[in-house]
Structure 1
Amino acid sequence: MEYAVNHDTECKLQKSEYSFSDYFDIEELQKIQDLFSEATGVASIITEPDGTPITEPSGFCDLCNEIRRTEQGFIHCKNSDAIIGKTNEDGPILHRCYSGGLLDAGASIIVEGKHIANWLIGQVFDEDQPIEPLEAYAASIGLADEVFRRGLAKVKRMSKVQFESVSKFLFQNAQMISRYAKNNLELQRELNKRIQHEHEIEKLNLELEEKSREINKFFDISSDLFSITDIRGNFYRYNKAWKSLLGYTEEDLKEMRYQDYLHPDDLYEYYQVMKQIEESGKNIGFTPRFRHKDGSYRYLEWSCIKEGRYYYSADRDITQRMEAEAAAKETEQTLKESEERFRTIFEQYPIGIALVDTENHKINQANNKFIRIVGRGIDEINEMNWMEFTHPDDLEAEVELWDSFLGGAISSYNINKRYLRPDSGYVWANLTVSKVEADPTEGKKHILMLEDITRRKRAEEEILYYSYHDQLTGLFNRRYFEEEIQKLDKRENLPLSIIVGDVNGFKLFNDAFGHKQGDLLLKRIASIIRSECRPDDIVFRWSGDEFVILLPSTDLDETALLVDRIRENCSQVLINDVSIHISFGWDVKKDPNQSTQEVMTSAENQMYMNKVVESEGLRGSIIKTVINTLHEKSPREEKHSQRVSNISQSIGKALQLSEMELNKLKAVGLLHDIGKIGVEGSILDKAGALTQKEYDEIKKHPEIGFRILNSSEDMQELAEVTLCHHERWDGTGYPKGLRGEEIPILSRIVSIADSYDAMTSDRPYRRALSKEESINQIKKHAGSQFDARIAKIFVDAVVPELQ
């Protein structure tokens, strides 16, 4: 019996808020009820537990209809229906109707302990029952004798024993319906869980992609100049602001070096700063002038750090700010003449400005932008020392500058620093401190100018992070390895051990379970390796499925113990019922004169030798797991594969193939659909017609199966047979479009066995064909879909022997 489940919401499933119509096609059930009534002769109807009809009555007799039209008869019938409609899990309820004593029965339909419907039958006259009580009842309710006699003649007659058998059959049907409904409910719950998990994984992937796009977008759309250069000033990468801010074309930028854009008077300081960066590796900045293509110059605040062979520069146009500083000085000089004008400019200026008493550090004036940046009011700031809300990591650098400023060694300074905010966060700001030429009677003063650069700093940090880290696992990448190995290659780090690891069977795992599961496996491996390493050890993702570990001050025995711990922890982790196996190789550098590349190569060679020994058995294990997973996902596929294997062997025997070929047929029959592990279960078990997109997915399973089996040396001979079992004799099959003898004979045999079993078995989208119908289809397509010779031997010699 086909049935349908109402897919309203997951909430409805969890709360068990379901009704009979949520599970069944009422029109289809009406047909079954009508046929049941017609076959047995009894009246039949399905109702809600409260008696509300779900289906239309089937086979109701005229006599009962006439009785129900009377007031007393209707009451008696309803009371009788209530009795046979009571909840009962042990069997049908039989009862003589209060309306004259006709036999009625009812069976409860119960799902997960909830009574959802009744199947009621009856209006049967017991052959051993005297007619007089029925005549008397008809007369008592005012039914005309002629109407009574005419209706009684049409009432179904049978023995009570026969009616009890019909009732038991009814009860079995009701129980079967209850089981179908429960199974379908459980299936829907599982399906909804899977859909929810898939949506969550998809959401995480989209968030990761969006984060990466945001970083690249910020790099390109930022109004600041970002660039990566080498020591000679040759550009490795630059953003669009170089063209929009300075007016140069793409061709200009390719022909010029970084220093070519600087004002000639700033070149000496530029080379001095570059020398300091080279020696210290610290971020050092100054404010050079950059030449616009039209010949004018713009002030840019220049910051640079060195990582490896490259210099990462960030330049912000501060021409406006430099002009603001000049304007601020001019405003100070004319303050007494134009107080109101100054206040307007001061408050509305786009950067934070504050006027401070140098002696007592109290702020005399601050604009709103300044207060918003530091997150504190003037009164609160004046009660604190500026060091109290400066980030501890920035104190040393600014204290040194502040002391020079107070001592008169410098008249101003500029620094990027972090201000601690009252909410426990912090804000990055570019701070400029300058002396103010004021009236000596008013004491010394200086001006603070703040620009919020938090977004820029965070963007720089993210760009730097992803240039040295693998986005999937968070481990360091190969680029970082090339730089870090040079730093560690020193006498004080000896012995320096290198471990190289390669995940066994990773490509097979990806082919079988998909790239999402493959990514999950790599992340779990990265997590295990990290957890077993010491703080000074460095872990890298070397390539797709390879990892490298650098172990300073570690000998071979310690390295071997670490490898054992990683292997042990990996083997205890199951992903899709497959345990993680990694082949490792390692070596140690003891002599300062030994090349680290030699050690790396030795570790790789050892790893590859171990991989040859360890991989083959693992591939077979993964293939067995794939088969088990497929059969758990679709038990129907397991039974189908067993039958195809048996039928294929029978055809092989009829063709007098060798024992070796028969063994291959046995195996390939069991494995021919292993590629369906890569097809969604919803497609495999779909009850309706497949869409073109779904059919294209189904057609991929021979190739997926080929890749899975071909990965194991023991199963490579079966891989080609599996690949070709959907090829057709006329060349219109898939995936390769082979024709005739080009198709391996074992594939031609499996094709017939597969098709015959599919036709003679129930499928979600249709019922099984009869044996005769299936044979006719094999004959009809012999010479087009099937090898005609093998098809004839199958029909003549094999089919008669099949059960």
Structure 2
Amino acid sequence: RLEYVSYHDGLTGLYNRSYYEQELKRLNVERSLPMSIILADINDLKLTNDTFGHMEGDRLIQTFATILKKTTRAEDIVARIGGDEFVILLPNTNEQEVTLIVDRINEFVEREISTKIKLSAAIGYMTTNEIVDSIDKIFVIAEEAMYHQKLRDKQKQQADILNIIEVSYRERFPEQYLMSMAMVDCVKKMLATQNVPVQKETDILYATQFALVGLLSDERLSLTHEKHRIAEHGYHILKNVPAFRDVADYVLAIFENSDGSGKPHGLHSADIPLASKMIRVTLDYYSLQSQGLRQKSILKKLVKNVNIVYDKEVLDLLIQATKEKQDEKIRS
């Protein structure tokens, strides 16, 4: 029992790093040649943990581990060597054979539908036909191949991550999602009066759309209780999208107040991004509207908080934008 624990990963039942390193040295002999090594890295594990919690992240790891067990042979050494990293040692396996095994792993991964976030992995491999001075050289070459695949798939992965976030948000919080889309339309009108570069405008509109995406991490949160934590969770989810660094920063600052009394950092007006100010006043406007308040009552409440929560200039932009929307309704 003690020997099993010392050589196996507790979460997956696969071998652990210690056993892998021991076997790597043992197999660096002529009778194991040709020897191949496969290195695999689960994509989006951090996103899974940030969005759905670590239990779902563990399930993603276990699902991938099961696939590796199913697609390899009894003599192969399958190990989990890090949080999302796996390695397979394949003695007496040439390049053609290892390619077939990698193809089989990819087929099983593609068919897997049991996890909340679509399972995907970057895989690299290397075959040696001779004993090497440093067995780590094989690992490094396999690792480089894996990272090259990650780079090749980067654009698709980013689109997949964004789709995962949007679909999860829309399905689990349909009311908030619909409100966020109305907010996007309003903020777009506010931005029309500003000289904002196209890319920055795009980022602001994404931040508006995903202002409440932090609810995915903890649905017990609400806009009436510790609402800044929604922004904090949203920040951690959105920063998983490489192109969303600014978007994540805008979301984090949504619940900062003009007078410095907001959270999480107590920023004053001059330090709060304009995007965050626009999103905040628009979010509060639509939240009050969802409570059944009429336009006059909503604006009265918002005006009371000028220079406390909102900047007057930003509130004026909102008032103009909502007036335009009402005029459009009348004309239609």
Is TM (by shorter chain) over 0.5? yes
Counterpart residue number, 2:46? 507
1:557 counterpart (86, 96, 105): 96
**Where in structure 2 are the equivalents of 1:557-576 lying within 5 Å?**
557-576=96-115
Contact 1:504 1:615 in 2 (8 A): no
1:779 counterpart = 2:303: yes
Counterpart residue number, 1:721? 250
Counterpart amino acid of 2:324? E
1:668 counterpart (207, 210, 229): 207
**Where in structure 2 are the equivalents of 1:593-604 lying within 5 Å?**
593-604=132-143
Q: Secondary structure at the match of 1:751?
A: helix
**Where in structure 2 are the equivalents of 1:97-108 lying within 5 Å?**
none
Query: Within 2, Cα distance between the matches of 1:615 and 1:705?
Result: 22
Contact 1:779 1:792 in 2 (8 A): no
Query: Within 1, Cα distance between the matches of 2:228 and 2:34?
Result: 55
Deviation of 1:612 (Å): 2.2
Seq. identity, %: 28
Counterpart residue number, 1:756? 285
Query: Within 2, Cα distance between the matches of 1:656 and 1:800?
Result: 21
Deviation of 1:476 (Å): 0.4
Structure with greater contact order relative to length (CA < 8 Å, sep ≥ 6): 2
Query: Within 2, Cα distance between the matches of 1:531 and 1:782?
Result: 62
Counterpart residue number, 2:329? none
Q: CA deviation digits over 1:516-557, x for unaligned, max 9?
A: 000000000000001010110110001110000000100111
Query: Within 2, Cα distance between the matches of 1:568 and 1:743?
Result: 48
Counterpart amino acid of 1:769? L
Deviation of 1:738 (Å): 1.2
Counterpart residue number, 1:799? 322
Q: Secondary structure at the match of 1:534?
A: coil
**Where in structure 2 are the equivalents of 1:336-485 lying within 5 Å?**
462-485=1-24
Contact 2:28 2:132 in 1 (8 A): no
Q: CA deviation digits over 1:145-186, x for unaligned, max 9?
A: xxxxxxxxxxxxxxxxxxxxxxxxxxxxxxxxxxxxxxxxxx
Deviation of 1:709 (Å): 2.1
Counterpart residue number, 1:488? 27
Counterpart amino acid of 2:284? S
Q: Secondary structure at the match of 2:78?
A: strand
Q: CA deviation digits over 1:715-767, x for unaligned, max 9?
A: 223121111111111111122221111011111111111110111113xxxxx
Query: Within 1, Cα distance between the matches of 2:198 and 2:27?
Result: 62
Counterpart residue number, 1:735? 264
Q: CA deviation digits over 1:257-287, x for unaligned, max 9?
A: xxxxxxxxxxxxxxxxxxxxxxxxxxxxxxx
**Where in structure 2 are the equivalents of 1:705-720 lying within 5 Å?**
705-720=234-249
Counterpart residue number, 1:183? none
Q: Secondary structure at the match of 1:591?
A: coil
Deviation of 1:591 (Å): 1.1
Contact 1:652 1:665 in 2 (8 A): no
Counterpart amino acid of 1:581? S
Q: Secondary structure at the match of 1:471?
A: coil
Q: Is the alpha carbon distance of 1:491 and 1:671 closer, same or farther for their aligned partners in structure 2, counting shifts above 3 Å?
A: same
Q: Is the alpha carbon distance of 1:577 and 1:555 closer, same or farther for their aligned partners in structure 2, counting shifts above 3 Å?
A: same
Contact 1:648 1:753 in 2 (8 A): yes
**Where in structure 2 are the equivalents of 1:108-123 lying within 5 Å?**
none
Q: Which runs of 5+ in 1 are unaligned?
A: 1-461, 763-767
**Where in structure 2 are the equivalents of 1:607-756 lying within 5 Å?**
607-655=146-194, 657-680=196-219, 683-684=221-222, 695-696=225-226, 698-756=227-285
Deviation of 1:593 (Å): 4.4
Q: Is the alpha carbon distance of 1:782 and 1:715 closer, same or farther for their aligned partners in structure 2, counting shifts above 3 Å?
A: same
Query: Within 1, Cα distance between the matches of 2:13 and 2:275?
Result: 48
Contact 1:623 1:708 in 2 (8 A): no
Contact 1:509 1:622 in 2 (8 A): no
1:770 counterpart (294, 298, 305): 294
Q: CA deviation digits over 1:205-263, x for unaligned, max 9?
A: xxxxxxxxxxxxxxxxxxxxxxxxxxxxxxxxxxxxxxxxxxxxxxxxxxxxxxxxxxx
Query: Within 2, Cα distance between the matches of 1:523 and 1:496?
Result: 26
Q: Is the alpha carbon distance of 1:660 and 1:606 closer, same or farther for their aligned partners in structure 2, counting shifts above 3 Å?
A: closer
Counterpart amino acid of 2:134? S
Q: Is the alpha carbon distance of 1:576 and 1:489 closer, same or farther for their aligned partners in structure 2, counting shifts above 3 Å?
A: closer
**Where in structure 2 are the equivalents of 1:37-76 lying within 5 Å?**
none
Query: Within 1, Cα distance between the matches of 2:166 and 2:125?
Result: 35
Deviation of 1:575 (Å): 4.5
Deviation of 1:657 (Å): 4.0
By percentage of residues, which structure has more helix? Answer: 2
Q: Is the alpha carbon distance of 1:659 and 1:588 closer, same or farther for their aligned partners in structure 2, counting shifts above 3 Å?
A: closer
Deviation of 1:616 (Å): 4.2
Counterpart amino acid of 1:774? I
Query: Within 1, Cα distance between the matches of 2:232 and 2:114?
Result: 23
Taking structure 1 as the reference length, what is the TM-score of the superposition?
A: 0.39
Q: Secondary structure at the match of 1:547?
A: strand
Counterpart residue number, 2:78? 539
Contact 2:215 2:221 in 1 (8 A): no
Deviation of 1:679 (Å): 1.6
Query: Within 1, Cα distance between the matches of 2:172 and 2:300?
Result: 32
Counterpart residue number, 1:790? 314
In angstroms, what is the RMSD of aligned CA positions? Answer: 1.9
Query: Within 2, Cα distance between the matches of 1:565 and 1:684?
Result: 45
Q: Name the count of aligned residue pairs.
A: 326
Query: Within 1, Cα distance between the matches of 2:317 and 2:39?
Result: 57
Counterpart amino acid of 2:42? V
Counterpart residue number, 2:68? 529
Q: CA deviation digits over 1:456-505, x for unaligned, max 9?
A: xxxxxx22211110000000001111212222222111001111111112
Q: Is the alpha carbon distance of 1:521 and 1:774 closer, same or farther for their aligned partners in structure 2, counting shifts above 3 Å?
A: same
Q: Is the alpha carbon distance of 1:619 and 1:515 closer, same or farther for their aligned partners in structure 2, counting shifts above 3 Å?
A: farther
Counterpart residue number, 1:259? none
Q: Is the alpha carbon distance of 1:628 and 1:560 closer, same or farther for their aligned partners in structure 2, counting shifts above 3 Å?
A: same
Q: Is the alpha carbon distance of 1:792 and 1:469 closer, same or farther for their aligned partners in structure 2, counting shifts above 3 Å?
A: same
Runs of 4 or more, structure 1, over 3 Å off, are 654-665, 682-685
**Where in structure 2 are the equivalents of 1:140-159 lying within 5 Å?**
none
Q: Secondary structure at the match of 1:786?
A: coil
Q: Which runs of 5+ in 2 are unaligned?
A: 327-332
Query: Within 2, Cα distance between the matches of 1:659 and 1:611?
Result: 29
Counterpart amino acid of 1:492? R
Counterpart amino acid of 1:780? K
**Bigger CA drift: 610-619 or 536-545?**
610-619
Q: Is the alpha carbon distance of 1:615 and 1:519 closer, same or farther for their aligned partners in structure 2, counting shifts above 3 Å?
A: farther
Mark the structure with the bigger radius of gyration.
1
Query: Within 2, Cα distance between the matches of 1:600 and 1:657?
Result: 48
